[in-house]
Amino acid sequence: MKAAILQHGRAVAAFVIRDFSLVRRYLGWESVWIVYTVVSILTIGFIGVDQGDDELVVFLMVGGLLWGFLSTLFHTLAESVAWEMWEGTIEYTFMAPISRSAFLVGSCAFAVLYGLIRTVAILAAVILLFGISLANANVTSAVVILVASSLSFVGLGLIAAVLPMFSPERGSQTAHILQALVLLVSGVYYDVDVLPGWLQPFSKVSPATYTLRAMRGALIDGRGLGEMRGTLVLLFVFAVVLIPVGYAAFTWGETHARRAGKLKRSG
């Protein structure tokens, strides 16, 4: 039993260490990507400055930062299989005597850590430039919301990760489209009420909509957990539904790939 836990832990660590080693090896591109993200978010922040509305600046920055974190989480997980297919290592990873949960937990752990590091770096730049004060923020609420929303986005990421096992190139393309649609309907930079009527139902099924609303409540209005109980329960329901669905989809996708011979190198 102890040996099995140790082996599971080593396998999870294998994915986290591998992914951070890759970040280190692609440091030039990582720097470019972070600079690009910081500049994009700051550019949006200046819309609030232009309006002379400090509250709007904070509203936009919370949206940008949170979307930066959630989209990194989603993208990292969604690309986990596609990247291995591109490198040609997928057969070696899937041939190893480890459970798929080790692969998924390892990939998720890296995605959360990497997303947090990037978000802290971007937050530092935002505070430096706009001098945003979060003195009124309820940090406990913000952390709980971040955990709940991370879990639901892990579920979405797992579902997207399956797609390349059906079609390596189109699967990856579909994941990007899905990410863009979540950005559109979730109210990252505006209230979802401004969306056309036919788009609004989509905003109701996106966990990002509730995450953004709750996070703004916690950081701008200092709302406590009790006040946001309903939204938090909803976010955990998303997680409870999406993670098992994602895991089941992943298992199904792998079986399909083993039947159709799609675990080979692609690219």
Partner 1 sequence: MEPAVVCRGVSKHFRKRAQRDSGRTSRASGFSLARSEVVKAVDSVDFSVAGGEVFGILGCNGSGKSTLIRLISTLLLPDAGDIAVFGCDVVRERMAVRRLINRVSVEASFYKKLSARENLMYAARLYGVSPADADARARHILGELGFPAGRMNDSMTDLSRGMQQKVAIARAFLSSPILLLLDEPTTGLDPRSKRDVQRFIRYLVESHDATVILTTHDMDEADALCDRVAFIDEGRFVAVGAPAEHKARGGGVASLEEVFIDLTGHGLEEEQR
- Using CB under 8 A as the binding rule, whether residue 260 contacts partner 1 is answered as yes
Largest CA distance in the chain: 62
Whichever of 12 and 148 has its CB closer to partner 1, that residue is: 12
**Which listed residue (81, 98, 156, 214) binds partner 1 by CB under 8 A?**
98
Whichever of 229 and 258 has its CB closer to partner 1, that residue is: 258
- Using CB under 8 A as the binding rule, whether residue 233 contacts partner 1 is answered as no
- Using CB under 8 A as the binding rule, whether residue 258 contacts partner 1 is answered as yes
What does DSSP assign to residue 189?
S
- At closest approach, how far in Å is the CB of 107 from partner 1? 13
- Measured CA to CA, the distance from residue 171 to residue 151 in angstroms comes to 22
Whichever of 53 and 91 has its CB closer to partner 1, that residue is: 91
Whichever of 77 and 208 has its CB closer to partner 1, that residue is: 77
- Measured CA to CA, the distance from residue 233 to residue 187 in angstroms comes to 20
> Under a CB-based contact definition with an 8 Å cutoff, are residues 66 and 219 in contact?
no
Q: Give me the helix-helix angle, 100-130 and 2-25, nearest 10°.
A: 40
Rg (CA), the chain: 19
Q: Residue 251 has which token pair?
A: 């298992």
Interface positions with partner 1 (CB under 8 A): 3, 6-7, 10-11, 13-14, 17-18, 21-22, 25-26, 87-89, 91-99, 255, 258-261, 263, 265
